[in-house]
Amino acid sequence: MELLNVINNFKINGEVELTKRINDGLINNSFYVCTDKNRKYILQQINNFVFKNPKDIVKNIVVVTNHLKNKVDEKNLELVLTKNNDYLLELNNKIYRMYDYIDNSYTLQIKDLDNQKIFEIGKIIGKFHANLYDLDIKSVKETIKNFHNTPDRIEKLFNSYNLWTLNNDDLMIEEYIDFVKKEIDRLSIIENKIEVGSLKKHIIHNDTKLNNIMFDKKSNKAKCLIDFDTVMPGSVLFDIGDALRSLGSNALEDEQKFSIIDFDDLKYYCFMIGYLSQMSDKLTEEELNLIPHSIYTITMECSIRFMTDFLDGNKYFHIDYPNHNLIRSLNQMTLAKKILTKLNSLNKNTILLYERLAKNK
C-alpha cells in the first residue's frame, strides 16, 4: 500500500498494474512498475546511509542526462517528475526517485558474455566517456567524497581493523591486512598521479559493473549505462578498472569457490578493442600505460571496501548471510592476485593493440 502511495506521487502515465522488486544492486531498493497503459518505470528508494545528499545526486543526474541528450540519438536514462515538480520524493523519512524504464532491453550475467558482447560493453563505456569529455567537471558535485581514492579506502580499512574485536577469523584477517600493507605503494600510484596532476579527472560513471549496462533486445548491442548515482569527477581508469573487475573475472564477486576465480585475458582484449574504438584519440599515454594496473587497483579497492564493511558490522553493502562481505572481499583479492601475475603481458599487449588500431584507422 505504501509502495502504491509512493508511486502515485510521481507523474506516471496510467494506473499502476504491476510492481516487482528488483534484487540487483547492493545499495538502493529498486522496483519495476508497469501501468495499464503499458508505461514502465523504475522506482528507487535511495539509501541515505550511503548517499548523504540525495539532492546533489539528482542535480548531477539532470546535468549529465541533459548533456547526453544532445549527443546520443538513442534512449538514455531520464528522471520522472513528482506531482510537485520535484525529482525527489520524501515520504515517512524515506527518499525516492523514479526513472523511465528503458524498454526492450536487458542486462547480462557473466555466463551470458561472449567476445562480441564484451566488445560492445567496451564500446558503450568508451562512448559514455567520449560524450562527457567536454562536460566541465565543476558542473557535477562529488556525492561521495573520495569514492575511488584507494589510499583513503586503505586508511579506513586500517581504522576499522584497529577497532575490530578479534574472533575466530582473526588469523585470516591478519594475513589480509599484511597483504594490503605490503601493497600500499602500488595501490597508491593512481591517486598520487591524480594529486600531482599527471592524471586528469573527467566526468565518469564510477560504477561500471556488468549489471549497470543495458543491452538492446533486437540488436543485441549495448544500448546505454544505467545507475547514475555515482556519476562524478574521476579518472577514466576507474571505470575501465571497475568494468573489467566484474566482467573480466570468470566468477561472480560472491563466488565462494575461490579456486575457480581467474582473470580472462581474452575478455580484456575484446573490451579494449571496443573502448579504444571510441577513446583512442583522447586517452593520454599515462592513462594507456596504467590500464591493466587500474584493474588491479580497483579490484583490490573493492576487496578493501567489502572487508572494511565486514569489520564494521555490514552497514554499507546489502548482505544475504553473515560472512557475505568477508567472502566477497577474499574473492576480489583472489582475482586481484591473478591480475597481478598478468600485469606485464597485459601492459605489453595493450600498447601493441593500441598501435595496431591506430594504424588501421
**Site residues (vs ligand GN1, CB under 6 A):** 25-27, 50, 207, 209, 212, 227, 229-230, 253, 302
Q: What is the DSSP letter of 138?
A: G
Q: How far is the CB of 152 from ligand GN1 (least distance, A)?
A: 14
**Of the ranges 136-144, 168-176, 191-199, 206-214, which one interacts with Mg ion (CB under 5 A)?**
206-214
Q: Find all residues with CB under 8 Å of 5, minimum gap 6, and list them.
A: 91
Give the HSE-up count for residue 94: Cα atoms under 13 Å, Cβ half-sphere.
13
> Which is nearer to ligand GN1, 248 or 276 (by Cβ)?
248
Give the dihedral of Cα atoms 356, 280, 335, 250; nearest 10 deg. Answer: -70
Is residue 264 a contact point for Mg ion (CB under 5 A)?
Answer: no
> Which is nearer to ligand GN1, 214 or 288 (by Cβ)?
214
Instruction: Give the number of residues in contact with Mg ion, rule: CB under 5 A.
Output: 2
Residue 251 contact among ligand GN1, Mg ion, none, beta carbon within 5 to 8 Å by kind: none
Whole-number Å distance between alpha carbons of 164 and 315: 14
Q: Which long-range contacts (CB under 8 A, 24 or more apart) does 153-156 make?
A: 153/301, 153/304, 153/305, 153/308, 154/180, 154/184, 154/187, 154/188, 154/304, 156/308
Residue 16 contact among ligand GN1, Mg ion, none, beta carbon within 5 to 8 Å by kind: none
Q: How far is the CB of 250 from ligand GN1 (least distance, A)?
A: 17
Q: How far is the CB of 293 from ligand GN1 (least distance, A)?
A: 18
- Vertex 335, ends 169 and 122: CA angle to 5°? 145
Is residue 216 a contact point for Mg ion (CB under 5 A)?
Answer: no
Q: Could you say which of 120, 183, 191, 227 contacts Mg ion (CB under 5 A)? A: 227
Query: SS3 of 109, please?
Result: coil
Q: What is the DSSP letter of 46?
A: -
The x, y and z cell numbers of residue 24, run together, are 540487483
Is residue 253 a contact point for Mg ion (CB under 5 A)?
Answer: no
Return the number of other C-beta atoms located less than 10 Å from residue 268's C-beta. Answer: 25
Residue 122 Cα distances to 53, 137, 276, angstroms: 31, 23, 8
Q: How far is the CB of 53 from ligand GN1 (least distance, A)?
A: 13
Residue 26 contact among Mg ion, ligand GN1, none, beta carbon within 5 to 8 Å by kind: ligand GN1
> Which is nearer to ligand GN1, 207 or 255 (by Cβ)?
207
> Which is nearer to ligand GN1, 62 or 252 (by Cβ)?
252
Query: SS3 of 27, please?
Result: coil
Q: How far is the CB of 184 from Mg ion (least distance, A)?
A: 27
Q: How many residues does the chain have?
A: 361
> Which is nearer to ligand GN1, 191 or 229 (by Cβ)?
229
> Which is nearer to ligand GN1, 150 or 212 (by Cβ)?
212
Is residue 239 a contact point for Mg ion (CB under 5 A)?
Answer: no
**Of the ranges 44-52, 182-190, 202-210, 255-263, which one interacts with Mg ion (CB under 5 A)?**
202-210
Chain positions contacting Mg ion, by CB under 5 A: 207, 227
